[in-house]
Amino acid sequence: MQTDKRIRKVIIAGGGTAGWMAAAAMAKVLGKNLDITLIESEEIGAVGVGEATIPTLLTYNRLLGINEQKFMAAVKGTFKLGIEFANWKDVGESYIHSFGITGKDHWTAGFQHFWHRGMEAGIASDFGDYCLELKAALEGKFAHLPEQGLNYAYHLDSSLYAKFLRSIAEEFGAERIEGKIVEVAQHTENGFIKSLKLASGEIIEGDFFIDCSGFRGLLIEQTLHTGYDDWTHWLPCDSAVAVQTEAVSEPIPYTRSTAHDSGWQWRIPLQHRVGNGLVFCSRYQSDDDAVQTLMDNIEGKPLIEPRVLKFRTGTRRKHWSRNVVALGLSSGFIEPLESTSIHLIQRGILRLMRMFPSNGVKQADIDEFNQQTTFETEGIRDFIILHYHVTNRTDTPFWRQCRSMDIPDTLQHRIDLFRETGRVFKNGDELFAENSWIQVMLGQGIMPEGHHPVADVMSEEELIDFLDHVKSNVARTTAGLPSHQHYIQRYCKAAQ
């Protein structure tokens, strides 16, 4: 009978990015009061395609006191100002979803309303001309500016990132055990997990478990049977092929996402190589054809054999069940179109640490954790669906399916609101802010039918001055930035 319910020993099942992010954060913050053990097997390779991030990773790094220059050199990283989407609205067209803020808002209405009036009057230019991050990305420039004047994220080598985090975790007392988990034991009275048995016969007991076992969800699903909400009717891609190539040009400061006939291709530039992959729908494209499509569209010599991964988009019905929290792929999978995988790991860790059940697992904590996680993942899900559904493409069966499919009511409302009024509102603590939704909706071809009346209060001369002032500030700042490559060489060059 389990009488002492206090949590003293935390077991992390699995390594990779998710496992070592959890181990590093928990050891650094809670390590004096906890015994943290991570079990991973060299036999089980990490999926390791999540090499692009979003700006929230800067928060995680700051919380851990990570020196950015050392981190960037260790992971052979480059800077990222946004994502280019080519062939998504239509073949031959592209736009960038940047991390910045576009223009200047009024308290009653966002900048898009003033821009919309300017477009109607023929005095405004492309929406992206008013965004510093977007212009810097297109011109291949980067620098740190005062007061976080340039919003950015990272491209990183995920295997090197796991090693970097491991050194932090072990410095603060986390222990790694090599081994393959072959059996899971539960307490008979409440179904909580009691221990993990390794192939060597060793039994590892714990009070609380973090499942980082990847798609199989060894603890959260195979043992606790929490269930899975399948989202493939909205996000039909179910496969990916990945390959690394030699770098043949200077790294650009953005991720490239190029839509193909039955999915899309990523290109992520690092200091020493380039990460490439094709996410596709097996209903419309075979594995062999997908490999061929990818290999026909890469630059540089392949460094590894291409490998195919299978997945099912969706989410666990419970991300925390009994004394198990799932992180990373074991918690669900939303394809990497907007580089949200590492963000969701980070958010799960921070959420767990805020609610850490030191004196025993409480159902109220479980319910709150799951409610917050569901809200966040559904918001990201809707944002990804937007890219597929709002398109002019009808050239292949895949795109015709995406264009005609039913979508969640929450997303339909956002689309209708923007199309009819130009308005976008961020709901609470969700990830993507107004400017992200605006950039993607405009980029995918939705032009609002109207704008807020406050934009009509300005005279045409005042509106010209306002728009020109924003645009010239962006152009002047961009012109003064060094090239991305030059900045990396000076700031965080990796050892060869």
Query: Would residue 300 count as lying in a domain?
Result: no
Query: Would residue 486 count as lying in a domain?
Result: no
Whether residue 149 is found in the same domain as residue 166? no
Query: Would residue 106 count as lying in a domain?
Result: yes
Do 80 and 53 form a contact (C-beta atoms < 8 A)? yes
Whether residue 394 is found in the same domain as residue 463? yes
We report the CATH number of the domain holding residue 350 as: 3.50.50.60
Q: What sign has the CA pseudo-torsion 362, 376, 9, 57?
A: negative
CB neighbour class for 168 (10 Å; exposed up to 12, middle 13-18, buried from 19): buried
The pLDDT assigned to 1 comes to: 44
Whether residue 148 is found in the same domain as residue 162? no
- Structural domain for 42, as ranges: 9-51+157-232+313-361
| CB atoms inside a 10 Å sphere around CB 434 | 18
As given in the structure block, the two tokens for residue 494 are 């990796």
Query: Would residue 91 count as lying in a domain?
Result: no
Whether residue 223 is found in the same domain as residue 205? yes
pLDDT tens-digit readout, 359-388: 999 999 999 999 999 999 999 999 999 999
DSSP string across 31-42: TTT-EEEEEE-T
Q: Which of 344, 361, 378 is the last residue of a domain?
A: 361
As given in the structure block, the two tokens for residue 5 are 């319910």
pLDDT tens-digit readout, 144-200: 999 889 999 999 998 899 999 999 999 999 999 999 999 999 999 999 999 999 999
Q: How large is the angle between the packed helices 111-121 and 460-479, nearest 10 degrees?
A: 110
Which residue's entry shows tokens 């076992």?
A: 213
Quick one: which H or E segment has residue 98? strand 94-98
The pLDDT assigned to 49 comes to: 55
Query: Would residue 58 count as lying in a domain?
Result: no
Query: Would residue 277 count as lying in a domain?
Result: no
Whether residue 108 is found in the same domain as residue 39? no
Query: Would residue 126 count as lying in a domain?
Result: yes
Q: How many domains does the chain have?
A: 2
Whether residue 407 is found in the same domain as residue 439? yes
The pLDDT assigned to 459 comes to: 95
Query: Would residue 263 count as lying in a domain?
Result: no
pLDDT tens-digit readout, 307-319: 999 999 999 999 9
Query: Residue 151 and residue 132: Cα distance in Å, rounded?
Result: 9
The pLDDT assigned to 5 comes to: 79
Sheet holding 193-198, edge to edge: 181-186, 193-198, 203-205
Whether residue 143 is found in the same domain as residue 180? no
Whether residue 335 is found in the same domain as residue 473? no
Beta bridge partners of 181: 198
Residue partners of 156: CB distance under 8 A and separation at least 6: 51, 53, 75, 76, 77, 270
How much is the pTM? 0.95
The pLDDT assigned to 45 comes to: 58
As given in the structure block, the two tokens for residue 459 are 């005279």
Whether residue 44 is found in the same domain as residue 25? yes
As given in the structure block, the two tokens for residue 320 are 């925390």
Whether residue 317 is found in the same domain as residue 228? yes
The pLDDT assigned to 106 comes to: 86
Whether residue 150 is found in the same domain as residue 170? no
Whether residue 338 is found in the same domain as residue 211? yes
Identify the segments of the chain with pLDDT beneath 50: 1
Do 373 and 84 form a contact (C-beta atoms < 8 A)? no
